[in-house]
Amino acid sequence: METTLNLALFAQLNAAPGSDPRLLLMAEVFAVYLIWLVPALLVIGWLRGSERLKRPLWEAFIATLLALAASWMIGWLWPTPRPFMMPVGQTFLEHAPTPAFPSNHATIMLTMAFSLLLHAGTRRIGRYLLLLAVPVAWARVFLGVHFPQDMLGALVLAAAMATLVGVSRSWLILPIYHRVAMRLYRMLFAPLIRRGWVER
């Protein structure tokens, strides 16, 4: 059941029927394509980054996977409809009628951001991701595929999961990083490492 405040905020943020096509296009870029910065960061940072970058990225990756698993569980236990499923507002982006709460796009960007903020060497990257999460969240509400509460849920889930994984770093994250992730990486990329094309 949607709250009055949630519906009122959605009505304020959702695009009007006669919205400028240029604004809709910009929102679609934010809503659909900005998320690809996350896998690009993981791949480039892992292949070209030093140990100082690889370890925080590994921790952020694990935190994000766990946050997405929790998001899926929440959606399964409490399937919240999207605006176009009720229906309310205007929808300008095609989307499958999957559970809306919490937003997976916002969960991914915010979990990565919060996790990277926990490390001195990656705080700047974390701040950039945090800033980029704002237009992503706005655009997905603006285009009618999420409610504001879906973004709030993602914010809480991301902060909680990044913190939980952060406090388990010494006994969970680092052992897996050293014993599994780095060994597998060095085995798979050995030829490229020898040529200096990727970092060891």
CA count, 13 A, side-chain hemisphere, 38? 26
What's the pLDDT score for residue 2?
63
What does the block give as tokens for 196?
């200096």
Quickly list H helices, 101-181.
104-117, 123-142, 148-167, 174-176
* Confidence category of residue 197, pLDDT binned at 50, 70, 90: low
> pLDDT tens digit string along 120-173?
999 999 999 999 999 999 999 999 999 999 999 999 999 999 999 999 988 888
Residue 164 region by backbone torsions, left for phi larger than 0, else alpha for psi between -120 and 50, else beta: alpha
Residue 198 has pLDDT above 90, yes or no: no
Burial of 85 (0-12, 13-18, 19+ CB in 10 A): middle
